[in-house]
A and B are shown apart, each in its own frame.
Chain A
Amino acid sequence: MNKFHPSWVAAAATALLVACSGGGEGDQSARVEYGKMVTFGDSLSDVGSYNVGVIASMGGGRYSINTGDKVNWTELLATTVGVDALCPAETGLNSAPELGGPVATVDHAGCYSYAQGGARVTNPIGPGNAALLALGDPSGALGQLTKPVVEQIGRHLAAVGGSFAADDLVTVMAGGNDLFMQLAAFEAMVGAGMPVDQASEAVVTAMGQAGAELAAYVTTQIVANGATHVVVVNVPDAANAPAFLGSPDTQALVTAMLTTYNGQLAAGLAASSDKVLLVDAYTVSQDQAVHPTQYGLSDVTHPACDLEHMPLATSLACTVDTLVAGVTETWQYADTVHPTPYGYKLLAQLVTAEMSKKGWL
């Protein structure tokens, strides 16, 4: 049997072309099994605290382009880790009469999304709070509840018997409203005659304190009370958001305030690294502004929502029907600071990548 037989080749070739079924989605479950998600923070994590009254009537509720679908990064993350869909722990609005009047505040048992638009770290008065009306800030007409993060955490602990579950996935993202309120304070101080340098130093220092306070709440209120998976996202680079473009002085101040805030936050969390994941949204958002195409972003400088013609100039009331002409799905900003659904998706992607690296997904 010294002859080379062609049928062998055919047999070998057939053996090669074994089952060639198409690909699949594989195992979609996360490596860590979470029981539920608990979120603390501000508008960037709000899943509908103010989706009542005038906001509900406008089809809003999320600080983005409201599509009727999940848009916030925390909602996307909930789907990714396979827990129940998020729902706001508290709803309500203290709206002025011209905005339909107040809507009673309601607690929702079994809902653990405490993040509220306008919320600050410690101070209970954030943007859109009704108390601001008396101070001459018209944003107060909307009457956002703006319960600060420290109060949000306390409310949760009270609701669940004082401790987090070991299988909770906790997210914390706040600081943006401290920035806005401190900027307003800066204007007021300068308006009252304080030298700019001195006023700048005051608000930068205040931001650093807020960052340190948030870190302290995470370690002493969240981790110390049993949470083992706490994702803390720092404040994205608002200096490059449409709100501040074209005002270099303000941009420089915003940069100083946010780097100080984020620095204090990081310093305060450094010791609890095994239970806390600090996600650096600041650096990535800076890169997004400089290299938008890398992130598939087609516009990083204009609000997609038609703020000039909307009855309420905020993405909270923005829908697919209130956009400026020419908006595509890949714009970064819905209003002057809040992301579009695509922008939130990029944020979610950043968070999931970091969680995955830490073995939390």
Chain B
Amino acid sequence: MKKTLTSALMLTALALASNNALAQDAGTVAVKFGYNQIMPQVSSGDLSAPSMPGTKIDVKEAGAPIMTLTYMYTPAISFELYAGLPYEHEIVGDGAIKGVGKIASVKQVSPTLFAQYRFFDKESTFRPYVGLGLTYAYFYGEEGSGNLTALTNPGGDPTLLEVDDAWGISPQVGATVKIDRNWFVDMAVIKSFIKTTSHLSTGQSIDTKLDPLAVSLSVGYRF
């Protein structure tokens, strides 16, 4: 994260060198690079039988560099695609197994396509926006642990897990601050509504609403 921020700052510094404004006009394409922190706000179901009543999970926050691509359809309406490097989340025990610590980890990428409305004039230095996105949460690289095996199949084969991919709706609010005709800074907050099911090799499963809140800070360049 440190590295990413450092390079972001360098880009910002470079950007400040020139000073010609490029409007957020129709047909403009912009790219942003930044860092996004995803904070799942988990509401866990119970692990299916056989299990201790109220066996739940929590998913820890994770951050990763992001890249976005924006297309100004009109001076006010834009489309934006969020992509980026994978996030790795720790899965920890909750409910009846709160306190057991890490039981698994999972990686995810969740590309999201937003339709956005940008306020104020296209030449404004400060332009807040709202967006609504469609997210595809793609989970992979699930890793169990000795803890997970101990909790679900003590003395037996290691327990594996698999997290279902899921679609979700993602409202967004954000703002851009123009630095010069090409460069700008962008901050966005995205809430996603994502529900998934994790399956264990023991035949058990657990439903989880992840509903993450994501905060990103990026530096952008308009072409």
Residue positions of A touching B, CB distance < 8 A: 1-5, 8-9, 12-13, 15-31, 70, 73, 75-80, 284, 287, 291, 293-297, 330, 345-346, 348-353, 355-357, 359, 361
Q: Which of A16, A294, A346 has the most CB of B within 10 A?
A: A16
Indicate if B151 sits at the interface (CB-CB under 8 A): yes
- B143 interface neighbour in A2, A18, A24, A296, Cβ under 8 Å: A24
Contact A356 B145 (CB under 8 A): no
Q: Point out the residues of chain B lying under 8 angstroms from A355, CB to CB.
A: 150
Q: A29-B146, A345-B155, A352-B150 are in contact. Are A23 and B141 (CB under 8 A)?
A: yes
Q: Point out the residues of chain A lying under 8 angstroms from B138, CB to CB.
A: 16-17, 20
Q: Which of A25, A70, A291, A330 has the most CB of B within 10 A?
A: A25
- A28 interface neighbour in B49, B111, B158, Cβ under 8 Å: B158
Contact B143 A26 (CB under 8 A): yes
Contact B100 A357 (CB under 8 A): yes
Contact A23 B155 (CB under 8 A): no
Distance A295 CA – B47 CA, assembled complex (angstroms): 11
26 contacts between A and B (CB under 8 A): A2-B28, A3-B29, A5-B29, A13-B83, A15-B67, A18-B85, A19-B140, A23-B144, A24-B142, A25-B143, A26-B104, A26-B105, A26-B145, A28-B146, A29-B146, A77-B155, A294-B51, A295-B51, A348-B154, A352-B154, A353-B151, A355-B150, A356-B93, A356-B99, A356-B147, A361-B146
Contact B81 A12 (CB under 8 A): yes
Indicate if B69 sits at the interface (CB-CB under 8 A): yes
Q: Point out the residues of chain B lying under 8 angstroms from A78, CB to CB.
A: 155
Nearest CB of chain B from residue A350's CB, rounded to whole Å: 7
Q: Point out the residues of chain A lying under 8 angstroms from B153, CB to CB.
A: 345
Indicate if B185 sits at the interface (CB-CB under 8 A): no
Q: Point out the residues of chain B lying under 8 angstroms from A15, CB to CB.
A: 67, 83-84
6 shortest interchain CB distances as A-B pairs: A76-B155, A296-B50, A23-B142, A25-B158, A26-B143, A352-B150
Nearest CB of chain A from residue B216's CB, rounded to whole Å: 16
Q: Taking CB as reference atom, which chain A residue is nearest B79?
A: A4
Indicate if B52 sits at the interface (CB-CB under 8 A): yes
Q: Point out the residues of chain B lying under 8 angstroms from A353, CB to CB.
A: 52, 96-97, 100, 150-151
Indicate if B179 sits at the interface (CB-CB under 8 A): no
Complex interface residues of chain B between 15 and 44 (CB less than 8 A to chain A): 27-29
Indicate if B189 sits at the interface (CB-CB under 8 A): no
Q: Point out the residues of chain B lying under 8 angstroms from A346, CB to CB.
A: 50
Distance A36 CA – B53 CA, assembled complex (angstroms): 31
Q: Taking CB as reference atom, which chain B residue is nearest A2?
A: B27
Q: Point out the residues of chain B lying under 8 angstroms from A5, CB to CB.
A: 29
Q: Point out the residues of chain A lying under 8 angstroms from B49, CB to CB.
A: 293-296
Q: Which of A4, A76, A355 has the most CB of B within 10 A?
A: A4
Q: Point out the residues of chain A lying under 8 angstroms from B140, CB to CB.
A: 19-23
Q: Point out the residues of chain B lying under 8 angstroms from A294, CB to CB.
A: 49-51, 53
Q: Point out the residues of chain B lying under 8 angstroms from A77, CB to CB.
A: 154-155
Chain B, 203-223, contact with A by CB distance < 8 Å: what is the 0/1 string?
000000000000000000001
